Amino acid sequence: MNKHAKERLKKAVLGLLKTKKMENIQVKELCDYCGITRMTFYRHFDNLEALYFWIYLSILMDSLRMMMGALTLQQGLHARLCFLKKNSEFLCPFRTIRKPDCTSIVEKEYTQLSALLKSSLKQEKEIDRLCLMQLCAGWNSLLDDWVCHGMVQKAEKLFAAMLEMVPERLESLCRWHRSIAISSCLMGVFCKYNGGNNLFLPLHDLLQESAVLVCPEVLGGLSIPRPCSEIRHHRVINEKGQDVTEAFRCGAKKALQIAKERNCTLAILKEKSPSCGFRKVYDGTFTHTLTEGNGIAAELFDQSGIPVITEQEFQWIMSLRWE
């Protein structure tokens, strides 16, 4: 079962929880909902609890991705709490059943925050690295306790408590100075397949100074304009039936290389695109039908450890206000 099938199972569980309790969900109805066989399910998960554990970690990882997609630490913590709150129907019931090991979350958070602090940490003592790891562990302990108790505590109070945990020696953590890789078309560059752009004003107005523009398709040698392309069976095929996978892969590698050279700690990429789409892309039928999956460049950025968000996720983060 690939990760896209797992995402379908995740969506099915979240959908079923709207009408029934977690303990009443059965493997058969879940498989029927997703269109997979029970044999396939049990080949990859020993039981529903194993699936639930994977979903739990997936949601926590996505909450961290929302945090890293913000422009300040305060805004990031706010986005993280709001994202977790949105998923309370799953998180709270599961957390009452089991206390999962979230070491991987702490380690990923440490790695990504270290990247933000890289320039200052190079000249600091090892104790600061230890301090950062302790901060990440402390934050996750607070979040776990919040979820375990049904999120009854107001998020604003938890937010304040998390900020208070930041020690003086890591005060630079509150001032994010970063380079952000952004799909060129979102910043108004005319590099879209049809010769146009996808200008997204919230990005253009806020991030001009920190933007590192990349267009993987153009970097891969494709022309402007060019035939529309979509992903089909793990290959990129254009509307003329030509396989342009290698150009997309080449461009993705060049885009990632540019991002690394400029020390980018975030990528904001065009949703649904065969190169930049994240979590959802067009299915290769050229009928504007979406399917689970990542674009070629988005997948490479994600695998490299650079957090990826779409322009719509960025807008959601920017729009958040305390209730």
Strand partners, 214: 183
Least Cα distance to 164 among 177, 174, 154 occurs for: 174
Contact 199, 188 (CB under 8 A): yes
**Rounded to whole angstroms, how far apart are CA atoms 245 and 179?**
28
Least Cα distance to 203 among 189, 182, 178, 218 occurs for: 182
Contact 259, 214 (CB under 8 A): yes
The kind and range of the H/E element at 147 are helix 126-148
The residues, ordered by sequence, that sit 6+ positions from 92 with a Cβ below 8 Å of its Cβ are 147, 150, 151
For 2, list phi and psi in degrees, rounded to 5.
-80, 175
pLDDT per residue rounded down to tens, the chain (323 residues): 567 778 889 999 999 998 989 999 999 999 998 888 888 898 889 999 999 999 999 999 999 999 999 998 999 999 999 999 999 999 999 998 888 888 889 999 999 888 877 644 444 445 577 888 999 999 999 999 999 999 999 999 999 999 999 988 787 777 777 899 999 999 999 999 999 999 999 999 888 888 999 999 999 999 999 999 999 999 999 999 999 999 999 999 999 999 999 999 999 999 999 999 999 999 999 999 999 999 999 999 999 999 999 999 999 999 998 76
Contact 301, 256 (CB under 8 A): yes
Owner of token pair 């975030």: 266
The residues, ordered by sequence, that sit 6+ positions from 18 with a Cβ below 8 Å of its Cβ are 89
Residue type, 304: S
Tokens of 127: 């104790």
User: Exposed (0-12), middle (13-18) or buried (19+): which is 170, by Cβ within 10 Å?
Assistant: buried
- Residue 254 vs residues 193, 212, 249, 251, 279: alpha-carbon distances, Å: 18, 13, 9, 5, 22
**107-142 burial code (b ≥16 CB/10 A, e <16):** ebbbebbbbbbeeebeeeeeebeebbbebbbebbee
Query: pTM here?
Result: 0.92
User: Quick count: other Cβ atoms within 10 Å of Cβ 21?
Assistant: 9
Would you list the domain boundaries of the chain?
46-174, 179-319
**Rounded to whole angstroms, how far apart are CA atoms 83 and 250?**
34
What pLDDT does residue 118 have?
A: 67
Contact 252, 293 (CB under 8 A): no
Tokens of 1: 């079962």
User: Is it true that the peptide bond before 227 is cis, omega within 30 degrees of 0?
Assistant: no
**Rounded to whole angstroms, how far apart are CA atoms 40 and 228?**
34
Tokens of 138: 């402390």
Tokens of 75: 């805004």
User: Exposed (0-12), middle (13-18) or buried (19+): which is 184, by Cβ within 10 Å?
Assistant: buried
For 85, list phi and psi in degrees, rounded to 5.
-60, -40
Contact 264, 178 (CB under 8 A): yes
